[in-house]
Amino acid sequence: MSIDFKFKKITYSELNACQKENYNFQKLAAHLADYGFNCMWLNDDWQGADFIACHIDGEMFLKVQLKGRLTFDAKYKDKEIYVAFRESNQWYLYPHDTLCSELISLGFMKDSKSWVEDGVYSWPKLPKDLLTYLEKYLVLNLEKDR
C-alpha cells in the first residue's frame, strides 16, 4: 500500500516555538555535517547545551546552545558553551565566553541593567556595529548555500 504524498515547503514564520527549534537544529546540523560534525540532540540542556557536535577527528566536541538571537548569559560562563543563532538567512556559531569578554572589553553591554543585575543580555536584531565582530563566527548563509 502506498501513500500519496506531495512535498510542500513550510513557511518558517508559521512554525511554533518547538517546531522552530527542531527546524533550526536540523538546518544547522546538516550544514555542520559538511565540516565533519555529527550532531546529537539532547533532550535536557546537559551542561547548558541543546546539542553536542562531535567532529570526525574524535577530539573536537562542541556543546551548543541554540538561541533565537545573539545572547549572553552568566549561567553559561566557564561551561565551554558555543551559542548558535539565526539572523535572517545567516547562522552564527560563537564561543560564548570568548565573544562575551571581547564585546564587554569594547564597551558593549557592560553597563546595561540586564547584564549587571541579571547576567543576561541579548539583541533582538543585530546592530550594524556588531557585524564586524561576528563575521568570523558566520557558519552558514542560506542565501549563498542554496
For residues 1-19, average pLDDT: 88
Structural domain includes residue 146:
no
Rounded (10°) CA dihedral 99, 102, 108, 112: 80
| Predicted pLDDT of residue 143 | 58
| Predicted pLDDT of residue 14 | 96
CATH number of the domain that residue 116 is part of: 3.40.1350
Structural domain includes residue 62:
yes
Structural domains counted in the chain: 1
| Predicted pLDDT of residue 142 | 60
Structural domain includes residue 7:
no
Domain ranges, residue 120? 15-141
Comparing CA positions, the residue from 102, 103, 64 lying closest to residue 84 is: 64
pLDDT in tens, 71-122: 999 999 999 999 999 988 889 999 999 999 999 999 898 889 999 999 999 9
Structural domain includes residue 78:
yes
Answer whether residue 146 shows pLDDT above 60.
no
- Go through 89-106 and write b for each residue having 16 or more CB atoms within 10 A of its CB, e for each that does not: ebbbbbebbebbeebeee
The pTM score is: 0.88
pLDDT in tens, 34-84: 999 999 999 887 888 999 999 999 999 999 999 999 999 999 999 999 999
Answer whether residue 22 shows pLDDT above 60.
yes
Answer whether residue 145 shows pLDDT above 80.
no
Structural domain includes residue 22:
yes
Helix (H), strand (E) at residue 100: helix 96-105
| Predicted pLDDT of residue 44 | 83
Structural domain includes residue 28:
yes
| Predicted pLDDT of residue 3 | 79
Structural domain includes residue 6:
no
Structural domain includes residue 5:
no
